[in-house]
Amino acid sequence: MSELTPISFFSRFEDDILSGAKTITLRDESESHFKVGETLSVSTFEEDRWFCNIKVLSVTKVAFHHLTEDHAEQENMSLEFLKSLIQEVYPGVEELFEIKFQLLN
Ligand SMILES: CC(=O)Nc1ccn([C@@H]2O[C@H](CO)[C@@H](O)[C@H]2O)c(=O)n1
């Protein structure tokens, strides 16, 4: 038996992930190592509390200035909010990675 690869999300996104409203996350290069098809064990960033497993569907490089409404929709937020959020989490980072995922039961 192998350990699942961990990933954390801010706990305020837990409900959106569990309802299927949020189906991508945008990360910097330090979290671009996930492999298509691999199962990730998802915990909250704040308390390191497990809340689901997800399967990686794709990992795609995307520039900050190329983010679109399509990304925002898959984040279940407005594009304006998404951009301000990313600037808070990853100040000055232009090269992002879109990780598309599927919630596992
Ligand atoms: C330690 C650390 O970086 N944790 C992160 C980073 C990002 N995100 C979310 O991904 C999307 C785009 O960044 C937005 O929904 C972010 O809030 C997250 O939940 N947790």
Domains delineated in the chain: 5-103 (2.30.130.30)
Distance (Å, rounded) from C-alpha 70 to C-alpha 55?
A: 20
Q: Is 75 in the pocket of ligand 1 (CB under 6 A)?
A: yes
Residue 60 annotated as catalytic: no
Distance (Å, rounded) from C-alpha 59 to C-alpha 101?
A: 9
Are 97 and 59 spatial neighbours (Cβ–Cβ below 8 Å)? yes
Q: What does the pLDDT look like over 34-63, one tens digit per residue?
A: 999 999 999 999 999 999 999 999 999 999
Q: Is 10 in the pocket of ligand 1 (CB under 6 A)?
A: yes
Give me the chain's average pLDDT, please: 97
Residue carrying the six token digits 């951009």: 83
Residue type, 59: V
pTM of the complete model = 0.95
Q: What is the pLDDT of residue 52?
A: 98
Residue 5 φ/ψ, nearest 5 degrees: -75, 130
Is the interface score ipTM higher than 0.85?
yes
C-beta neighbour count of 94 within 10 angstroms: 10
Q: What is the pLDDT of residue 60?
A: 98
pLDDT at 11 over 70: yes
